[in-house]
Structure 1
Amino acid sequence: MRQAYRVLYEGAVGEITEKKSRFIATFRPVKSEVEAMAFIDELRKKYWDASHNCYAWVIGKNGEEKRSSDDGEPSQTAGKPMLEVLEREKIVNICVVVTRYFGGTLLGTGGLVRAYSSAVKEGLESCTILTVEPAKKISITTDYNGIGKIHYILLQQEMKILESEYTDKVGLIVLVPDEKIVSLEAEITEVTSGKAAILELEDVYYSMLEKEAILFNI
């Protein structure tokens, strides 16, 4: 059974200061290790004068790929706690770079863990995170007598119509969450006395943003 997951849709920047050290967390959506490493290199060039550019990324709807780096900070005080924040939030297709400008005061291992974790949490507050759910595209073909009833059902169940075609009949392409497929098909069949033709086209993942359906490849 396919499961919903959370994905970074739009990145952002967050910043905290700890004992005069600046920690700047920059986020970007990524779909591959190549994209993640290109983003990390971009931030290293932008913040070339920083003390450290630590990173963490998680890729794949089940978080199959992940990596982190302390970039010169004491072992497991930066990259690992950053990665743990992403894993706790269950966000994938995400890369974060936390840039540190040293303020002159040592924070200790516990202080570094808290600072890097806090920077990631701060930045996430400004990011756009979407819950992505499994669905199917289905085709519905009906006559003009049945379209009003079908439209009413789709409206009541908040189904998204992706395409419409009006010729001698009416054709709709509708986005339907997996868990509603069986009940929707049964209801349409009933109200149209079996005259509506329903065809399941393809499995997709989707999320809604400001009433718009966004489709995902994974």
Structure 2
Amino acid sequence: MSKEENFLTIKETGIHEIVIKKSRFITNIARTSTVEEAENFIQEMQKKYRDATHNTFAYTVGLHDEHVKGSDNGEPSGTAGIPELKALQLMNLKNVTAVVTRYFGGIKLGAGGLIRAYSNSVTEAVQHIGVIKRVLQQEIIFHIPYNRFDEVDHFLKSKNIFVANVEYGVDIEIHLFLDEEAVPQCKQDLIELLNGKVEFIQGIKRYNEIPVTATNYHEQ
């Protein structure tokens, strides 16, 4: 399981608005894992804001930016779609589409002003909505007697290990999710903690979502 399979994206679909020299810039942003999803979201926003001066957009699809696109939608060439796309890429976000709608306020911003306005619209929208890291992890399952739960629970919390589920029956069944490279060490630690009286079942692999609070997304 490669670290490259982990990626940053927005927490959820959202909307954020800024006003610059009486022009309204409304950013709608969504997770889109395919080009079709991206194009559908763009069309939906264009219909919603059909009376706007411009509906510009940018998207990046794929964990290695396999599909990217930006549109100025009538703004001067290079002042909207590309700055929006660069804003997404600078934050290292994947599978995201941003549509920035402008209602002209009567004051021209100039090329530099437009670039800053559209770029900042996307950046501020992302910061407003939030970012998560989608991490591909391996599930491991094991059973313990009730009288060992407190020490196992303490160990897992001390290591910040994600406990997906705890089932109480004849004994206690615990489901963990770990980065694959962390699985051997976790198993070894639990074996030592439980004096070898533990067996592990390998479960599914899935993406789990971890909130990202830092603004230095490029370092994640």
TM-score range (shorter-chain normalised) is: 0.7 to 0.9
The equivalent residue for 2:109 is 107
Q: Deviations over 1:147-194 (max 9, x none)?
A: 444333223222232223344443221122334322211111112222
Question: Are the equivalent residues in 2 in contact too, given 1:23–1:98 (CA < 8 A)?
Answer: yes
2:3 corresponding residue in structure 1: 2
Partner of 1:94: 96
Instruction: Say which of 205, 208, 212 aligns to 2:207.
Output: 205
The two structures have a TM-score, normalised by structure 2, of: 0.83
Against the structure 1 CA distance between its residues 52 and 196, is the aligned structure 2 distance closer, same or farther, given a 3 Å change threshold?
same
Residues 10-32 of structure 1 show CA distances to partners (whole Å, capped at 9, x for unaligned) of 23323333333322212122222
Preserved CA contact (<8 Å) 1:146 1:196: no
Matched pairs, number: 209
Q: Which residue pairs with 1:189 in the alignment? A: 191
CA deviation after TM superposition for structure 1 residue 55, in Å: 0.3
User: Which of 120, 123, 133 is residue 121 of structure 1 equivalent to?
Assistant: 123
Report which stretch shifted further, 77-86 or 55-64.
55-64
How far does the alpha carbon of each residue in 1:99-137 deviate from its partner, in whole angstroms, 9 at most, with x for none? 112233433322221221122222223112112233211
Q: Percent identity?
A: 32
- 2:37 maps to 35
- Whether the 8 Å contact between 2:135 and 2:210 is mirrored in structure 1 is no
Counterpart code for 1:159 = I
Q: What letter matches 2:3 in structure 1? A: R
Contact 1:60 1:93 in 2 (8 A): yes
Q: Which residue of 1 aligns with 2:153?
A: 151
Give how far 1:64 is off: 2.8
Q: Find the aligned partners of 1:164 and 1:17 in 2 and give their Cα distance.
A: 49
1:100 counterpart SS class: strand
CA distance in 1, matches of 2:163, 2:20: 50
Residue 80 of structure 2 is matched in structure 1 by 78
Quote the residue 2:48 is aligned against.
Answer: 46
Structure 2 CA distance, aligned partners of 1:19 and 1:167? 64
From the superposition, tell whether residues 19 and 145 of structure 1 become closer, same or farther in structure 2 (CA, over 3 Å). Answer: closer
Distance change (3 Å), C-alpha of 1:204 and 1:105: same
Label 1:148 to 1:125 Cα distance change in 2 as closer, same or farther (>3 A): closer
**Alpha-carbon distance in 2 for matches of 1:104, 1:176:** 54
Output the aligned Cα RMSD.
Answer: 2.2
Q: Compared with structure 1, are the counterparts of its residues 142 and 20 closer, same or farther at alpha carbon in structure 2 (3 Å cutoff)?
A: closer
* 1:145 to partner: Cα distance: 5.3
- TM-score normalised by structure 1 residue count: 0.84
1:86 deviates by 0.3
Q: Which runs of 5+ in 2 are unaligned?
A: 212-220
1:195 Cα offset (Å) = 1.7
| Unaligned ranges ≥5, structure 1 | 210-218
